[in-house]
């Protein structure tokens, strides 16, 4: 059986120096990136952002709790959901032919939907989170005033 030799002290010093150099040099590396954007591209990006901000519907999440092809059964499920979560999230029926689907809440972020799903599953174990278009909470409908006739 062969025994392993202890490492050479000069080799250990070399490894220690390499580790220290790597540690201190990695902290000194910093970079800053500046983008020069043509005015037409910047203007198009602003239009895109305005369009998203002013959209009636945005991508978001709802919690799906059940469905039925009979409105009365879906309405019973909606009533139960409203009793439990109506004040905190709200519930609604959406007709998606041929079924009436019952959803709880509208959430703009996945984190909000996940937090609500944990609470909702206590009452509706088969509930699931769905990504879909929801009303934009920041949308403000502008109504143009019509001039009054004298």
Domains of the chain: total: 1
Q: Per the domain annotation, does 63 fall within a domain?
A: yes
What average pLDDT does this structure show over 88-97? 90
Q: Which CATH number characterizes residue 70's domain?
A: 3.30.70.1070
What pairs with residue 61 in β-bridges? 107, 131
Cβ–Cβ contacts within 10 Å for residue 120, how many? 25
Nearest to 66 by CA among 12, 102, 16, 30: 102
Full domain range(s) for residue 98: 57-135
Q: Where are the alpha helices (DSSP H) in 6-145?
A: 9-28, 39-53, 71-85, 110-121
Largest CA distance in the chain: 112
41 vs 19, which has greater pLDDT?
41
pTM: 0.60
The answer to whether residue 145 sits within a structural domain is no
Mean of the per-residue pLDDT values of the chain: 82
Q: Which of 45-49, 76-80, 85-89 has the lowest mean pLDDT?
A: 45-49
Long-range contacts of 92-98 (CB under 8 A, 24+ apart): 98/69
């Amino acid at each position: 059986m062969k025994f392993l030799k202890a490492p050479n002290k000069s080799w250990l010093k070399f490894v220690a120096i390499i580790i220290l150099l790597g540690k201190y040099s990695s902290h000194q590396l910093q970079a800053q990136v500046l983008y020069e954007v043509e005015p037409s591209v910047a203007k198009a990006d602003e239009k895109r952002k305005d369009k998203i901000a002013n959209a009636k519907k945005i991508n978001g999440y709802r919690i799906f709790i059940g469905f039925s092809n009979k409105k009365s059964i879906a309405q019973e499920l909606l009533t139960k959901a409203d009793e439990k979560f109506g004040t905190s999230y709200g519930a609604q029926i959406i007709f998606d032919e041929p079924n009436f689907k019952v959803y709880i809440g509208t959430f703009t972020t996945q984190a909000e939907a996940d937090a609500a799903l944990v609470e909702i599953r206590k009452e509706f174990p088969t509930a699931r989170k769905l990504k879909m278009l929801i009303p934009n909470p920041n949308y403000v409908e502008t109504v143009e005033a019509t001039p009054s006739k004298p």
